[in-house]
Chains A and B, each alone.
Chain A
Amino acid sequence: MNNKKQSAISRREFARRAAMVSAAASLAPGNLLNARPLASRPQAQQPPNVPRLSPESQAEVDSRIQTILAQYGGRLSDAQKTDIRRLATEAQPPLDRLRAYPTENGDGPALYLKPLMERERKPAPAPPPPKPAAAPKNS
């Protein structure tokens, strides 16, 4: 198969996103050969390669994590908090790429709103028969 340039997406990022959206679940050949049954399921995993973010992006990630922990921290274990930090960090590069993609003010979002029409809720009444034209009063 052709190996043309792919979007700059890290393998780990894709794995995270694919799992999140229930996309095709698969693994690379090397991992297939090395895959072994897990003796026990890992809880929070420390990512081997955390994405390198700009200071602005890192600040945004930190802020997002703080929001999550302020709102939900009480119900999360330490392992889950660590996992959330990882997920929030890994979510940032796709956001940065998306924001960098040039769009114009006039580009419409592919978002469709179909106003609820009365005719869709019940059949439209038959139009009344046309009245005979009245003779103009002032002609």
Chain B
Amino acid sequence: MPGEEIFYLSVTELAKRIESKKLSPVELTQMYLDRSQKFGPRLNAYARLTPEIALEQAKAAEKEIHRGHYRGPLHGIPYAAKDLLSVKGLPTTWGAKPYANQVFGYDATVIEHLNRVGAVMIGKAAMIELAGGMGYRFASASLQGEAKNPWDTKCWTCGSSSGSGAIVAAGLAAFAIGTETWGSIVCPSAFCGVSGLRPTYGRVSRYGAMALAPSMDKIGPMARSAEDCARIFAAIAGHDPKDRGTVPIDKGAFTYSPSVELHTRPLKIGWLVNAWKSLEPGVAKPVEAAHRTLKKYSASVKDATLPEGPWEDAGGIVVAVEGAASFRSLIRSGRVSELADPLGQIAGYVNEQYSAADYLQALKVREILQKKMDALFEMFDVLVTASQPVAATPLELNLETGLVFPDPLGGIGNLCGLPALSVPCGFTEKNLPVGLQFLARAGDDIAVIQAARAFQQHTDWHKRHPKIH
């Protein structure tokens, strides 16, 4: 039995061993399955494990590789998919009781892409019910209950990609797929100490994924490093005629090679001075250290300021209106009462009441904001700040009264569909991870990858992992 370290190897390292036939995809998959069976339930990390699918895919990968047909860096690599991505014949619950028995007859495009490159799906990751689309007051707003943070099981993983965060942080799979409408990749990545990429809106097809707010929903990888995120993103990105929100063919695809990326343009880095009103002291210290690291290795770090305006208000209204439309039948039928969370049971009734004129005003404000951000990106290639102003919160916290900070960057980034990458940058005094967030112009996903990867070449925070018992 190999040591625990194998569970925390990057995709890049696992791929090298698999390609050189030093590591068997079947053995690796079985090891991750065993570990997931042991620790998954303790963390409420999975909606379900899929050992039959996993072993069948792993055996097929192994056979192909032995025949000399190596498909690339995800071939034979085990992963988990958030349980809002449909997998043919399997329950896809969206984390919510009203959909507990829902089964689709087709695979989501992201699953198809991952099948095509030979990745091995070992399970569906737990999530906040309806990705938080109806609101939630407690971390327990999930069919699986509250997802526990592997760094401290009395703390939450954040949501809504809660299981994805727990799985990657606990070494239960090599990577996971998450989704973000507002904060759902960046926050769990920060709380769980993993690297998470929220791609540009429209870069990854949502076909077969639950819709929350179709003009803001995005799908992205959560993994051990920015480089791993880039490799996974390269596998899942691209135009899809089945998702009319995807960008055109010539702007959708993403190719990645470390050598190409390291020789791209020098980045002008903007350090955001007004992204957060304040940082919790335990978070401020590592973030300040990260600022110093960036300045040490890049001469172009300058202070940057976000434009001011009702961006969060606009984003909130867009999500509320589109969410109410996405789940209209659930709201009108009264089946929202089956949701686990008391806020989720009623917020849809309020969100239904926004007027079309207010929604369109929000979309007008969105276009104004896009132009303002575009102007800011004339001065900077990448904007950087803390991923969150706080570290992981207690499981029992009432999020409605305990969540108390403005989040202009979350509003701006998601309203404009900008790419972001959160990477670990240190720990609080309680040994909880702290995240650093890189943000770039729409379509410039390579810039956040390049900046985050450069940061990880000078730090080793992404190589730390919790002790799992």
Binding site for B on A (CB under 8 A): 1-7, 9, 11-12, 14-29, 31-32, 35-38, 41-43, 45, 64, 67-68, 71-72, 75-76, 80, 83-84, 87-88, 91, 94-95, 97-101, 103, 107-111, 114, 116, 120-121
Contacts and interface: CB of A to CB of B under 8 A. Distances in A.
Given A19-B135, A94-B316, A109-B360, 7 more contacts: A7-B408, A22-B128, A22-B182, A29-B280, A41-B342, A68-B352, A72-B334
B302 interface: no
Contact of B403 (A27, A36, A45, A83): A27
A28 B404 CA distance: 6
A24 B364 contact: no
Contact of B132 (A20, A26, A100, A120): A20
B363 A111 contact: yes
B181 A21 contact: yes
Chain B, interface size category, equals 35 or more
Interface in B337-385: 337, 342-343, 345-347, 349-354, 358, 360-368, 370
B284 A1 contact: yes
Interface stretch (B38-46, B115-123, B390-398): B390-398
A11 B405 CA distance: 6
A29 B278 CA distance: 10
B421 to A, nearest CB: 15
For A29, A68, A84, the residue with the greatest tally of chain B CB atoms inside 10 Å of its CB is A29
A103 B182 CA distance: 25
A68 B349 contact: yes
A41 to B, nearest CB: 7
Contacts of A101: 309-310, 361, 365
Interface of B: 128, 131-139, 156, 158-160, 181-184, 186-187, 190, 215, 241, 244, 273-281, 284, 305, 308-317, 319-320, 323, 334, 337, 342-343, 345-347, 349-354, 358, 360-368, 370, 388-390, 393-394, 396-408, 410
Nearest to A22: B132
Contacts of A7: 308-313, 406, 408
A6 B317 contact: no
B404 A14 contact: yes
A37 B346 contact: no
12 contacts: A5-B308, A7-B310, A14-B403, A24-B186, A24-B403, A31-B404, A84-B346, A94-B310, A103-B361, A103-B364, A109-B360, A109-B363
A9 B310 CA distance: 9
Given A6-B408, A94-B313, A22 B370 contact: no
Given A9-B312, A11-B404, A87-B347, A23 B187 contact: yes
Contacts of A99: 358, 361
A26 B160 contact: no
Contact of A29 (B186, B281, B337): B281
A24 B184 CA distance: 7
Contacts of B184: 22
A1 B396 CA distance: 29
A3 B279 CA distance: 10
B312 A2 contact: no
Contacts of B363: 109-111
A100 B402 CA distance: 29
Given A4-B274, A94-B313, A26 B390 contact: yes
Contacts of A6: 274, 277, 308, 406, 408
A16 B370 contact: no
Contacts of B404: 11-12, 14-15, 27-28, 31
Contacts of B315: 21
Contacts of A83: 342-343, 346
B366 A110 contact: yes
A24 B181 CA distance: 11
Nearest to A15: B403
Contact of B136 (A19, A37, A121): A19
A111 B158 CA distance: 30
A138 to B, nearest CB: 47
A35 B403 CA distance: 12
